[in-house]
Structure 1
Amino acid sequence: MAQLREVAAKDVKGLKLDPVDEKTLAGAQAILSDVEKDGEKGFLKHAERLGDLKAGQNFMIGKDELKAAFDALPEKDRGVLERTADRVRKFAEAQRGSIKDIEVPVPGGSAGHQLAPVRVAGCYAPGGRYPLPSSVIMTAVTARVAGVESVWVASPNPQPATLAAAFIAGADGLLAAGGAHAIGAFAYGLEDKIPACDVIVGPGNRWVTAAKKLVSGLVSIDMLAGPSECLVMADSTADPAVIAADLLAQAEHDTDALPVLVTWDKELPAKVNAELKSQLETLTTAEVASVAVSKGFYVIAADKEEAITVTSTVGPEHLEVMTTDAKADTARISSYGGAFIGQKSAEVIGDYGAGPNHVLPTSGSARYTGGLSIFTFLRIRTFLHMDDEDSTEQTELFNDAVHLARMEGLEGHARAAEARLKGINKRANGAAEENGDAPEPKKAKTDDAE
């Protein structure tokens, strides 16, 4: 039976962001090129070839059909989806309320920034091994709270719960396809069906990730998501059965998922491995989870300090801290996507809508980015507005700009600043003359003066 293997602390390296191979990138590029060149025809070519659609099958599901799917769900299912969306929405609204437009004075006027949502967002939700209506809620609800005008969802073989989630999230429609061709449809648009998106978000398989990587720059993307990761940092007070359950919850996502245990309790890994063995015997997804567990590992650190260093080095997508002082210990860890502090803070509750988003950075990218949020859909646009009366500070500002431009060898920049500076000086002299303060003109030199 699969078990975590031991890895020495000194041998732990940071996860590397390499979620796609060159062969997949090349294949995704060919698919994207067809969609860009041939639009709907190119999209359908690959959607039908890969089994997403049958010839002639409708691939666009509109609002009315999404609502019908929601109405047809059992009442209990509808309630779960509605409550989950409400929690995610409230958290996103709190995030939006934490930032605002600003305006500050500068010499001669004011400067500031304004927050503006993107116009169109494409939200991808996996639908292969498992349907993930939770990912629809996490992405589309957050986009709507950010103020995005047009929100679209794509998911292959969408199940009723996925369609219902798209309705609850306020999506304009759902593209019943996945893979690189769905990302191409988002990036380039599909004639009168889907507009070209400004941002594409959501997790997916290596083909989705490869396509997102290739269209990044043409559009914004949230991140390049690899297989799921969960690292538990624990001491002797942690429950081995709970640790094992949480590691298996991530391991069942994908055979490439990475479960990790870091501890300074020498007895804990054996207890966790025993629990993994026991729980896998009855887990319905054991075929997938056991493969991931066999790729996972544990580290027995010399002490808490080394455990924190190892955890920060890995920079996991999901971090669970089960120690006697979990809050303080978490604060000392430098890199993670989402933290779950204390044994009661189950990562699975994060997956299923306590509030924070479950689309999180993987493969070590938590070193420089965070998870999906309303900020993913917002642009910060700055402005400068100078129309106040001239001042000494304003003159200094323009003189500094002239000087700095010439320091950089950019004479055109210097002259553009000087063009305004001449006006400032002229207005200043004119004002002085009106007030009788204009300097007397210099007299020409004479021989007597010499």
Structure 2
Amino acid sequence: MNVIKYPGREDWASLTSRPHLDVSQLNSVVSGVLDDVRANGDKAVKAYELKFDHAQLDSLQVSEKEMKEARKLVSKDLEEAIRLAHYNIRLFHRSQRFNSKKVETGPGVKCWQKSVAIERVGLYIPGGTAPLFSTVLMLATPAKIAGCKEIVLCTPPNSEGKVNPAILLAAKTAGVSKIFKVGGVQAIGAMAFGTESIPKVFKIFGPGNQYVMAAKQQVSLHDVAIDMPAGPSEVCVIADESANVEFVAADLLSQAEHGADSQVLLITTSEKLVDDVQREIEKQLENLPRKEIAKKALENSRLVLVRDKQEAIDLSNMYAPEHLILQTSDYAELANKVINAGSVFLGKYACESAGDYASGTNHTLPTHGWATTYSGVNLDSFCRKITFQHLTETGVRHIGHAVELMAEAEMLDAHKNAMTVRLNSLK
């Protein structure tokens, strides 16, 4: 890790910056695949599955037989863990249900909202070396609670045309409607445009590599909504002299193993912790199967020594991390000062992994500084709010003249007239 001691505030912008990649060539490749899928549907999707996932597919949809086989391939212990996580995620997201109430803004004028589920949503679940079956739970569970009529899931198969069984079990547990063996850009295109097999959805959720992220951005311009813009995963840990060094190192490494482009930031007020954490990271790193990936991530990560807790929280708020861990003696006080973060973990026992899997909170979170403007996925992500208003004769008399004056001032005479004719009818 890169150690920076007592940086001036004028240097914070560079400390909190993310790598900027030249994606011009990548976007061109993505655009070509999307155009092909739009024009040729299933034929194009199958061709790209053969090219990229080396899978020869006769059918894109996962069959009922494959679903039953998957259950037998998942250990009882893992099945119980999936069910526990699903229970907690469902419990937490159920608490987010919207309760509407009618508001009388003036005599005879009532306004209210109704929450309506998005009818058809698409979930993208990465496979490969890290099949994210936990993300199935994080996305499908709130979609089901919201009342989405159709939940479509796409995930890449292996070269034998099989989907990871844990992904299938999680999908069954959370209530996914249809599962397709499609990965990468072609999956995003298929859900955005619709093909002979895969329904067009109204909103796409889920993480992926830079090609998938670019595809989501492109289709969001004209064809479909997406959950949020995203970049590589990241964590910020704020720790003081009371922190458990072993825990801090483990938290940093758990993020670093996501990918070589993952971001790890430690902010501390303890100079001793700086050296202790580096030694502990080296020790734990040697036992990780994905240590080469973690090492690359750590090369671009930063350990920052600051003067006090206020500087620590200010720097974190500028960074706006996806995950923020507060391993300090006064974590409750610091938590009140958090302005920008995707999800916050309080105290030495609240590791990021808890939120990633089973505490109940959602792990689909804004990255790349987008926590300044975006929330993580929640129940509202799968809903729309429709507003209603009702006016009586009294209501027209109460606000009618104000409406006329404002419409006239904006030189929108037809707007004015729509109210004027109503006022005249009451004379």
* TM range, smaller chain: over 0.9
What are the residue-to-residue correspondences of 1:412-431 with 2, within 5 Å? Answer: 412-425=414-427
1:39 partner SS: helix
Distance (whole Å) between structure 1 residues aligned to residue 19 and residue 155 of structure 2 = 25
Question: What is residue 195 of structure 1 aligned with on the other side?
Answer: 199
In structure 2, the residue corresponding to 1:102 is in which secondary structure? coil
Match of 1:283 in 2: 288
1:29 paired residue number: 31
Cα distance in 2 for residues equivalent to 1:57 and 1:356: 38
- Relative distance call for 1:139 and 1:15 in structure 2 (3 A) is farther
- In 1, Cα distance between the equivalents of 2:220 and 2:22? 14
Q: For residue 19 of structure 1, report the CA deviation from its aligned partner.
A: 7.4
Partner residue, 1:144: 144
What is the DSSP-based 3-state SS (H/G/I as helix, E as strand, rest coil) of the residue aligned with 1:12? Answer: helix
1:12 offset after TM fit, Å?
2.4
Three-state SS of the structure 1 residue aligned to 2:235 is strand
> Deviation of residue 5 (structure 1)?
3.2
Distance 1:292 1:9 in 2: 25
1:433 corresponding residue in structure 2: none
Partners of 1:25 and 1:419 in 2: how far apart?
Answer: 53
TM-score, with structure 2 as normaliser: 0.93
How far apart are the structure 2 equivalents of 1:295 and 1:166?
A: 35
Offset of 1:225 from its aligned partner?
Answer: 1.9
The residue that corresponds to 1:445 in the other structure is: none
Can you give the 5+ residue segments of structure 1 that lack an aligned partner in the other structure? 426-450
**Which of residues 409, 412, 424 is equivalent to 1:410?**
412
Matched-pair contact (CA < 8 Å) for 1:19–1:226: no
Question: Which one of the candidate residues 342, 352, 356 is aligned to 2:361?
Answer: 356
* CA distance in 1 between partners of 2:148 and 2:209 (Å): 25
- Matches of 2:93 and 2:64 in 1, distance apart? 23
CA RMSD of aligned residues (A): 1.7
CA–CA distance in structure 2, aligned partners of residues 61 and 20 of structure 1: 36
Alpha-carbon contact 1:53-1:59 (below 8 Å) kept: no
Shift of residue 52, structure 1, vs aligned partner: 5.1
Cα deviation for residue 166 of structure 1 reads 1.0
One-letter amino acid of the counterpart of residue 352, structure 2: E
Amino acid at match of 1:414: K
Alignment equivalent of 2:237, drawn from 222, 225, 232: 232
Find the aligned partners of 1:178 and 1:330 in 2 and give their Cα distance.
38
1:38 aligns with 40
Which stretch of the first structure deviates more once superposed, 155-164 or 370-379?
A: 155-164
Change (3 A) 1:275 1:173: same
The secondary structure found in structure 2 opposite 1:78 is helix
CA apart distance, 1:18? 5.9
Amino acid at match of 2:42: E
Of the structure 1 ranges 207-216 and 11-20, higher mean CA displacement relative to structure 2 is found in 11-20
Q: Give the Cα separation in 2 of the matches to 1:82 and 1:37.
A: 40
Tell me, yes or no, if the aligned pair for 1:326 and 1:341 is still in contact at 8 Å.
yes
Aligned-pair CA distance for 1:240: 1.3
Matched, 1:311 2:312: no
Shift of 1:67: 3.9
Q: SS where residue 99 of structure 2 aligns?
A: coil
SS at match of 2:397: helix
2:397 maps to a residue whose letter is T
Native 8 Å contact 2:125 2:206 kept in 1: yes
The CA distance in 2 between the partners of 1:67 and 1:414, in whole Å, is 63
Counterpart residue number, 2:217: 213
Bigger mean CA offset, 59-68 vs 129-138: 59-68
Output the CA distance in 2 between the equivalents of 1:144 and 1:63: 20
2:3 corresponds in structure 1 to: 5
Structure 2 contact 45–182 (Cα < 8 Å) conserved = no
Contact 2:108 2:398 in 1 (8 A): no
Is 1:125 the counterpart of 2:125? The answer is yes
CA displacement 1:365-412 (0-9 Å, x = unmatched): 0001110111110000001223x3x22x53241111111001011111
Are 1:296 and 2:301 counterparts? yes
> Aligned partners of 1:421, 1:67: CA distance in 2, in Å?
66
Equivalent residue for 1:168?
A: 173
Identity %: 32
The structure 2 residue matched to 1:343, chosen from 334, 344, 348, is 348
Check whether the contact 1:63–1:167 (CA below 8 A) recurs between aligned residues: no
Q: Give, in whole Å, the separation in 2 of the partners of 1:182 and 1:19.
A: 23
Tell me if the contact between 2:134 and 2:357 (Cα under 8 Å) persists in the aligned partners: yes
> What code does the residue aligned with 2:210 have?
R
- Residue 426 of structure 2 aligns to a residue in which SS? helix
Which residue does the alignment assign to 2:160?
none
Q: How many residues align?
A: 416
1:55-134 superposed matches below 5 A: 56-63=57-64, 65-96=66-97, 99-105=98-104, 106-134=106-134
Q: Distance in 1 between matches of 2:268 and 2:87?
A: 36
Choose 80-89 or 317-326, whichever is displaced more. 80-89
Partner of 1:373: 378
Aligned to 2:62, the other structure's residue is in SS state strand
The question of whether the paired residues in 2 share the 8 Å contact of 1:17 and 1:364 is answered with: no
Larger radius of gyration: 1
2:88 aligned partner, one-letter code: R
Moved more, 280-289 or 8-17: 8-17
Partner-residue secondary structure (3-state), 1:369? coil
Kindly provide the amino acid, as one letter, of the partner of residue 119 in structure 1: E
CA distance in 1, matches of 2:216, 2:385: 23
* 2:396 and 2:422 in contact (8 A); partners too: no
